[in-house]
A and B are shown apart, each in its own frame.
Chain A
Amino acid sequence: MTGWPSGRAHSNSTMPQNDSQESHYLSMFAAFEKNGASDSPDWLKTLRREAIADFERNGFPTARRGNELWKYTDVRPLANHVFARSDGSNHEQIDFAAYKLPCPRVHQLVFVDGHYAADLSTEPPSQSAHRAETIGHRSEGLIVGRLSEAIQERLPLVEQYFNKQVGSSAFASLNTAFVEDGALIYIPDGVSVHEPIYLLFITTGRSQVVTHPRVLVIAGVNSKSTIIQGYESLITDAKPGFTNAVTEIVTHSGAVLNHYKLQREAANAYHISSTHATIGRDSHLASVALDLDGGLVRNDLCVKLAEPGASVKLDGLYIGEGERHVDNHTFVDHFAPRTSSNEVYKGILTGASRGVFVGQVMVRPEAQQTIAHQLNKNMVLSDEAEIDSQPMLEIFADDVQCTHGATVGRLDATAVFYLNSRGLSTQEAQQLLIQGFVSEVLSAIVDDAIRQYTDDAVLTKLV
């Protein structure tokens, strides 16, 4: 296998020698370049080649030793599995009721096995005409549209913001190399979008496919919006699929963005996602990540509080059962003064599942008057389940207020008895205590209709 033309590729001798793992993706890329990607703009073609070269050079992070970022998560099964790109075959059997948000109006983009499903996607009526007129004018209309269309139409917005904060990890590189479709969301300055923006990525599980969903969000000055990203598997006894998602978020001054993720992929699915956000002056991101399912799950969530007054609230819930493995890495970069972060991640682990939480908070020297709080709480409900929790606080400024903590516990026997003594069975008591445990995270979702949907999703899972 030869190196791809790229300024960053060095020599073949430094590349990983295990051909069976990476070479499959390299040949898939060669085919993709000839076929699906040939009419892309030049800047994107270049980016793709650089990305595949990065992937070829770095390889999958399968080495356990000295690989700090992946030391708790073994991706060899994923690396060894051969997935195909989806051919986008039809999906008429999807019963959408199960995924419908209980909101009267919603901007909804649905992708099935990575391919846009026009029949399942909707926009509030008043917006459709509006959008058609204004796509391409970045300072005017709201854009909730397909990324592929925006690329096709040579929207300057895409080139300006795409892949500016992602870095060159193996999985993000693969996503960039194979980027095909996903969503572009642009909230113009001063605009409040009242309807939720719902991006749904469904894996059918009918064949062993890899998809690379890509989402680019630009929130304009003083804009307000709510985005929910769903990752669902159509059938539970699915063939293993691999979702390799990347989301990029930029918020400008004063923007408020609620970003919710609900991941319920199949028990044998591989779900790797990275989300990168840059938060502007006095802007606020509220992120809630709910990982309720999936076989091997790894999420990287990186937030850069880039300008003074930027703030972020990060809430997460992960549920592990059976043999599942769920790994959350979060990184909050306090880059500017007067920035604040508040993070609460909670895990419930049963069976022989394994959870990982690594939460890094960096306060740079110039980030004075920073407030950073981080908490990771875990409920481990079986002897075989396991959690590795690693908070990492790096503070280089002196005028800061930072706390962090991690707890691992079982259900409190005294609390169970308290509930028993009021007539509740032990099973009912445990359920109520677990619901109480997760409610702090669920209540971070402030939109009632979405919260109703996510509460149901979580409670169904916990029963």
Chain B
Amino acid sequence: MLDIIDLHAEVAGVEILKGVTLHVDAGEVHAIMGPNGSGKSTLANVIAGNPAYRVTAGTIEFEGEDLGTLAPEERARRGVFLSFQHPIEIPGLRMDHFIRAGYNSVMKSREEDQLDPLKFDRLIRAKAKVIDMDATLTKRAVNEGFSGGEKKRNEILQMAVLEPKLRILDEIDSGLDVDALRSVSASINELMTPEKATLLVTHYERLLTYIQPNQVHILMDGRIVASGGKELAREIEIKGYDWLAERQGA
């Protein structure tokens, strides 16, 4: 589903990704781990098309289509979803209005039925129930005054509504306590299907005890330096990243 080949990207003239190659198939969960500043969030944002980042070399293909020239909304309409590490607060814009506008844009692009406010309200309530979220939050301004946990759950709600094929979750576990992490992870698992793929970006192995990855990749200094099963994550948890850096240097 996702084929990234030798991807180089920079932000503000500084190269962050220095040749990333990654293949993710439908039905798979891949975890990207790495120390701060290794390029994990950059990779997530570049796949989603954040214009703040510039791809300088390499390709990203999604279902055989080159994403390189597509605007972020075009990627979203094809089924790429990014859960933000720091979801944006938008005072004055109601959550449900915002998600409905996004939902209808996606539906319109697929020539499928758009939903009026009443029908959409039913949909969003049902989705909120699935992910164990208080639906009254959707009547509030987007993320305004939300707790860290509410913001993350809100990202999952948007994902539940948009039903993307490729789910990129950028540090979905940051700012969550154990109970919230368990609950959010359960929602992510529940929404997973064999047609979908998941890319988890995380610092900690803890998330991977709730969401089982097929593969774990270690990103350091803009390159994937190791790939393996979930035992690799366990090893990182015990030994840290330094041994990989040393191995890389050796």
Contact = CB atoms under 8 A, between A and B. Distances in A.
Interface in B39-89: 48-52, 71-73, 75-77, 81-82, 84, 87-88
Given A422-B162, A423-B162, A424-B105, A438 B98 contact: no
B98 A432 contact: yes
Contacts of A417: 50-52, 72
Contacts of B126: none
Secondary structure class of chain A's binding surface, majority of residues: helix
Given A417-B52, A422-B99, A436 B90 contact: yes
Nearest to A441: B92
A437 interface: yes
B109 interface: yes
Contacts of B162: 422-423
Nearest to B159: A422
B143 to A, nearest CB: 9
A435 interface: yes
Contacts of B178: none
B51 A422 contact: no
Given A415-B88, A417-B72, A423-B73, A432 B51 contact: no
| Interface hub of B84, B87, B102, B103 (most chain A Cβ within 10 A) | B102
B71 A426 contact: yes
Interface string B221-233: 0000000000000
Nearest to A425: B73
B73 A424 contact: yes
A415 B90 contact: yes
B141 interface: yes
B194 to A, nearest CB: 23
A81 B224 CA distance: 72
Interface in A409-438: 412-415, 417-426, 428, 432-433, 435-438
B185 interface: no
B92 A419 contact: no
Nearest to B51: A417
Task: Report, as a range, how many residues of chain A touch the other chain.
Answer: 20 to 34
A440 B50 CA distance: 29
Contacts of A439: 92-93
Contacts of B82: 421
Given A415-B88, A424-B101, A425-B105, A436 B93 contact: yes
Interface string A126-151: 00000000000000000000000000
Given A413-B52, A435-B92, A418 B76 contact: no
A419 B72 CA distance: 9
B99 to A, nearest CB: 7
A418 B99 CA distance: 11
A418 B87 CA distance: 8
Contacts of B48: 421
Nearest to A439: B92
B198 interface: no
Contact of B93 (A413, A425, A433): A433
A432 B93 contact: yes
A412 B52 CA distance: 12
B138 interface: no
B102 A423 contact: yes
B158 interface: yes
B152 to A, nearest CB: 14
A452 to B, nearest CB: 15
Contacts of A424: 73, 101-102, 105
B117 interface: no
A420 B103 CA distance: 12
B106 interface: yes
B73 A420 contact: yes
A426 B50 CA distance: 12
A435 B141 CA distance: 12
Given A433-B93, A439-B93, A422 B52 contact: no
28 contacts: A413-B52, A414-B52, A415-B90, A417-B51, A418-B88, A419-B102, A420-B49, A421-B50, A421-B81, A421-B82, A422-B98, A422-B105, A422-B162, A423-B77, A423-B162, A424-B101, A424-B102, A424-B105, A425-B71, A425-B105, A428-B105, A432-B98, A436-B90, A436-B91, A436-B92, A436-B141, A436-B142, A440-B92
Interface of A: 412-415, 417-426, 428, 432-433, 435-440
